[in-house]
């Protein structure tokens, strides 16, 4: 039977610009077996096309944009098409705003503030974003992940920037990314009939999303969770890396 296999990216498929060993070959094997492969990432920095291009470039697997579900895309579904949106984030958030039909603005008289990971984030942007939120703008977080894994170390994630805007504004945002319903609704449109397995490295996002949906879950040891560490919720399976996933499919 065909399975839906939902893969997180950072820490599961690759670490920075380096593939997890065997990731590309594993994805190709699963694809050739007829499984529905979807990539679900809380990293909001890239567009769907950019995400697919990185997977191809780093792993060799021929990923397509229509296989990508990102927290930026999920956030975009929460934006009022008539809104003026102040963006804290990269190309992924910019694409989501454009696709929503809303207009992007830079001033504090915004109706909505969307915050994702932003590698050019500075005090001025924090000032404008938090002022807009204090003035009543809807505050949307692409995700609350405070870190993400790279090959060298854990790096600050979107959640760290969201926390700064939250602290400065005194307002708690709506979270669009894993494990929230907004992301799960986005994934529903990409799944086919058959069992679902979520493969990730974060208990509070990947495993939590699988748990609430009743999906099988796989925790890999190549990302943010140290091998052997106790986690909640518990995964259905725990493996060293993505290369062990084919052996888990019934």
pLDDT at 149 (0 to 100):
85
Q: What is the helix, strand, coil percentage profile of the chain, to 5?
A: 35, 20, 40
Under 8 Å CB-to-CB from 207, ≥6 apart: which residues?
Answer: 198, 200, 217, 219, 231, 233, 234, 235
pLDDT at 7 (0 to 100):
98
Q: Do domains 4-72+178-248 and 80-175 have the same CATH topology?
A: yes
Per residue of the chain (250 residues), what is the pLDDT tens digit? 789 999 999 999 999 999 999 999 999 999 999 999 999 999 999 999 999 999 999 999 999 999 999 999 999 999 999 999 999 999 999 999 999 999 999 999 999 999 999 999 999 999 999 999 999 999 999 999 999 888 888 999 999 999 999 999 999 999 999 999 999 999 999 999 999 999 999 999 999 999 999 999 999 999 999 988 999 999 999 999 999 999 999 7
CA distances from 20 to 17, 161, 242, 249 (A): 10, 27, 8, 20
Q: What is the topology classification, in CATH, of domain 80-175?
A: Rossmann fold (3.40.50)
pLDDT at 2 (0 to 100):
86
Structure token pair of residue 211: 């748990």
Structure token pair of residue 124: 């001025």
Nearest to 81 by CA among 61, 101, 97: 101
Q: What is the rounded distance in angstroms from the CA atom of residue 7 to the CA atom of residue 200? A: 6
CATH of domain 4-72+178-248: 3.40.50.1000
pTM score of the predicted model:
0.95
In the chain, where the domains are located: 4-72+178-248, 80-175
């Amino acid at each position: 039977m065909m399975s839906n296999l939902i893969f997180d990216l950072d820490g599961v498929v690759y670490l920075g610009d380096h593939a997890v060993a065997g990731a590309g070959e594993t994805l190709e094997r699963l694809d050739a077996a007829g499984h529905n492969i979807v990539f679900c990432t809380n990293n909001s920095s890239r567009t769907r096309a950019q995400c697919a291009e990185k997977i191809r470039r780093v792993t060799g697997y021929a990923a397509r944009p229509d296989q990508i579900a990102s927290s930026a895309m999920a956030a975009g579904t929460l934006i009022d098409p008539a809104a003026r949106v102040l963006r804290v984030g990269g190309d992924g958030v910019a694409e989501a705003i454009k696709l929503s039909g809303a207009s992007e603005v830079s001033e504090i008289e915004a109706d909505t503030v969307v915050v994702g990971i932003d590698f050019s984030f500075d005090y001025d942007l924090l000032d404008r974003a938090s002022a807009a939120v204090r003035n009543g703008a809807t505050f949307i977080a692409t995700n609350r992940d405070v870190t993400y894994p790279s090959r060298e170390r854990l790096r600050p994630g979107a959640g760290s920037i969201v926390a700064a805007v939250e602290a400065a504004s005194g307002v708690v945002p709506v979270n669009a990314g894993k494990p929230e319903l907004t992301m799960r609704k986005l994934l529903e449109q990409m799944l086919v009939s058959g069992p679902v397995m979520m493969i990730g490295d974060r208990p509070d996002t990947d495993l939590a999303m699988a748990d609430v949906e009743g999906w099988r879950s796989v925790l890999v040891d190549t990302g943010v969770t140290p091998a052997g560490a106790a986690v909640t919720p518990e995964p259905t399976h725990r493996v060293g890396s993505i290369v062990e996933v084919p052996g888990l499919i019934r």
